[in-house]
Chain A
Amino acid sequence: GESVGLHLPTLSVQEGDNSIINCAYSNSASDYFIWYKQESGKGPQFIIDIRSNMDKRQGQRVTVLLNKTVKHLSLQIAATQPGDSAVYFCAVSGGADGLTFGKGTHLIIQP
C-alpha cells in the first residue's frame, strides 16, 4: 500500500516570506496528488492538485511541484499571511484507491 510522509511536523516562517512544505510518497504508481489545508476545528480544505503527467502547477499564491523520480511533492506558498496558519496535508492516490494522507505540517506565521 501507499505510505505518505512529511519532512517536518512544524514549520515557522515570518509573515511575508515564502513557505515550502515537503511530502514524500512510496508508491511509484500513484498518479494524483492533492494538498489540503486544515484550520483548527475544521475539516480539510482543498488547496491545489496535480496529476502525474505534470511536474508543476500554479494557483493563487501557491505552487505544487512533483518530482516523480524521487517520489517527492512540495507546496510553495508565496508571501505568507496570518491566514495561512494551519496544518497542511498532502494526499496521494493511485488508480481507484482512496486517498492516503500524510501526517501534516503545522505552518506557523510569525508577525
Chain B
Amino acid sequence: EAGVVQSPRYKIIEKKQPVAFWCNPISGHNTLYWYLQNLGQGPELLIRYENEEAVDDSQLPKDRFSAERLKGVDSTLKIQPAELGDSAVYLCASSLGSPNTGELFFGEGSRLTVL
C-alpha cells in the first residue's frame, strides 16, 4: 500500500514568487494535515481537514498561505508571495480519524528554500 505522497520533494524559489505543494494521502484516510517543520524543530500544524472541510486552520497565515482539499482526497498548499522566512519543510500527513484516535502517517515532506 502506498504511503502519503508529496511533491515536489525540493523547491528553490526567489522571494515574492508563488509556490505550491501537493499531497496525496493514504487511500481511505479522511483526515489530512499540513505541518510546517523548521530546522531543528518539531512539526507545527498549519491546517487540518476532515474530508473536504478545514476544521482547524488557526495557525495558517492566511495573508499568504492557502490550502484546498477538493473532493476530500488530495490537497494543495500554496504560498503567494513567498518570503525568506518560509524556508522550511512542509509535511503532509493523513489519518483514518481524528488526531487522538490513531496514528498519523507522514509523507517525506517538501523542502522549500526561498532565496
Q: Which residues of A contact B (CB under 8 A)?
A: 4, 9, 31-32, 34, 36, 41-46, 49, 89, 91, 93-104
Contact = CB atoms under 8 A, between A and B. Distances in A.
Given A89-B42, A104-B40, A98 B109 contact: no
B4 A101 contact: no
Contacts, number: 58
- Counting chain B residues whose Cβ lies within 8 A of the other chain, the interface size class is 20 to 34
B48 A98 contact: yes
B100 A93 contact: yes
Main SS of chain B's interface residues?
loop
Contact of A45 (B56, B99, B106): B106
Interface of B: 4, 33, 40-45, 48, 56, 91, 93, 98-100, 103-109
